[in-house]
Amino acid sequence: MTAYQFEIAYIIGLAALLLWQYPSKINKRVYCVLITVQWIILSGFRHLSVGNDTINYRNSFERVFYTNWKILFKNFFKVFLKGEEGKDPGYNLFVKFVQIFIQDNYQIYLVLIAMIFFIPLGIWIYKYSKEPCISALIMSTLFWGFFGITGIRQTIATAFVVLIGYKFIKERKMWPFLFLILISGTIHKSAFFFFPFYFIAYKPLSRKYIIAVIVLIPLVFVFRNQIFNFISTIIGYEAYTKSDHSNSWIFAPTFIAIFFVALWRMKPILKKNPDAIVYYNALIVAVVFIPLLFVNSSPMRIIQYYSLFIMLLIPEILFSFDGQERVICYSAASGVLLTLFFKDIRSYLFFWQ
């Protein structure tokens, strides 16, 4: 059994022991703690060969270690405040600050990044998900390849603006949320694209609004090149020259299907949980941006901030059914996720192997 196969078995086995047989708030808390610990171990103790960018981030980590503070602050001022050419200067300052405590130990750094992301994620699932097992499976099958082992800068930014920032969206506290956006935007520019969500998170889901979104999706597809070029000038996607559409033909239909199923079950979902309107609006933003993936895969960096909310929305969809229907839908959702997992099993090594 590989580490990833054990991960899936662990998620389901714990759910069988703690959530399905003896459901309680305490068991839900224990479950979320245990899956969080597992994610931190797998992400933080990975070998340098695991993840496309792990070695590149190690090289960047070492360069920062031998760069003095004056140069890093000067670069931050030039790039972020003067608008000169450069890439996310706040990240280097973050790394330099962390190195005060851990020196040049990159493995400890990976553990720290895992904790920054997965501890808020575990809390997020515990507080807001009606079915933590499904949320965990979505994380481990759809999002692990990025947040678990690849994009460290955006992983940090996502932890701040989505997993922590959602609390301020719910409480309608704009200034703390804006502060998180500004800090995260210096680490990864894409974080700025999540700020508008503060204003649209609770937008009423009227019939005209839904129809407008359905009409907008094909329009975005038609003008996808122009829209992508506009966004790239803001966020710097011109640096990403690789254009891989292969995953788009899987990701796009999947999210479109989730979108229409969610619309079908909208009334019973919002009746049981009015806050689910936030999950709907997040999904709408993700779906509207999806046509851009057929120009270049880079817009996924924007979509990912919003698509994380399906970890909360899909459990709401399942709980909108009752009795045998819920069991059938739960089994179907689990089957789809497991199919996606076994379709793309990656190799894994711990750092000592």
What's the whole-number mean pLDDT along residues 241-251? 55
Which residues pair with residue 197 across a beta bridge? none
CA contacts within 13 A on the Cβ side of 59: 3
Answer with the residue of higher pLDDT: 342 or 192: 192
What's the pLDDT score for residue 86?
62
| 198 in any annotated domain | yes
Q: How far is it, in rounded angstroms, from Cα 163 to Cα 251?
A: 22
Structural domain count, the chain:
1
Which of the four pLDDT bands, split at 50, 70 and 90, describes residue 238?
very low
Q: How far is it, in rounded angstroms, from Cα 52 to Cα 46?
A: 12
Which residues pair with residue 46 across a beta bridge? 350
Residue 2: pLDDT above 90?
no
What's the whole-number mean pLDDT along residues 133-161? 92
Residue 239: pLDDT above 50?
no
Residue 85: pLDDT above 60?
no
Residue 180: pLDDT above 90?
yes
Taken in order 68, 70, 71, 72, is the CA torsion positive or negative?
positive
What's the whole-number mean pLDDT along residues 308-337? 90
* Contact between 146 and 117 (Cβ < 8 Å): no
Q: pLDDT above 90 covers what percent of the chain?
A: 60
What's the whole-number mean pLDDT along residues 157-169? 96
What's the pLDDT score for residue 337?
85
What burial letters (b/e) apply to 308-324, b meaning 16+ CB within 10 Å?
bbbbbbbbbbbbbeeee
| 350 in any annotated domain | no
Q: What residue spans of 77-105 are helical by DSSP H?
A: 89-102
Which of the four pLDDT bands, split at 50, 70 and 90, describes residue 241?
very low
Domain of residue 270, residue span: 3-343
User: 171 CB contacts (<8 Å, ≥6 apart)?
Assistant: none
| 133 in any annotated domain | yes
Lookup: tokens for 288: 């509207």
The DSSP 8-state label assigned to residue 274 in this structure reads T
pTM of this structure? 0.92
| 177 in any annotated domain | yes
Lookup: tokens for 154: 């955006």
Lookup: tokens for 324: 């045998």
| 351 in any annotated domain | no
What's the pLDDT score for residue 234?
62
Residue 299: pLDDT above 90?
no
Q: How far is it, in rounded angstroms, from Cα 294 to Cα 305?
A: 19
What's the whole-number mean pLDDT along residues 323-346? 82
| 76 in any annotated domain | yes
CA 50 to chain centre: 19
Identity of residue 28: K
Q: How far is it, in rounded angstroms, from Cα 114 to Cα 43?
A: 6
At residue 24, φ and ψ (nearest 5 deg) are -165, 165
Which of the four pLDDT bands, split at 50, 70 and 90, describes residue 84?
low
| 199 in any annotated domain | yes
Report the largest interatomic distance among the alpha carbons of the chain, rounded to a whole angstrom: 64
Which of the four pLDDT bands, split at 50, 70 and 90, describes residue 296?
confident
Q: How many residues does the chain have?
A: 353
At residue 260, φ and ψ (nearest 5 deg) are -75, -35
What's the pLDDT score for residue 184?
94
**Angle between helix 89-102 and helix 106-128 axes, rounded to 10 deg:** 110
Lookup: tokens for 239: 């640096």
| 258 in any annotated domain | yes
Q: How far is it, in rounded angstroms, from Cα 196 to Cα 306?
A: 11
Residue 159: pLDDT above 70?
yes
What's the pLDDT score for residue 214?
92
What's the whole-number mean pLDDT along residues 256-262? 91
Residue 80: pLDDT above 90?
no
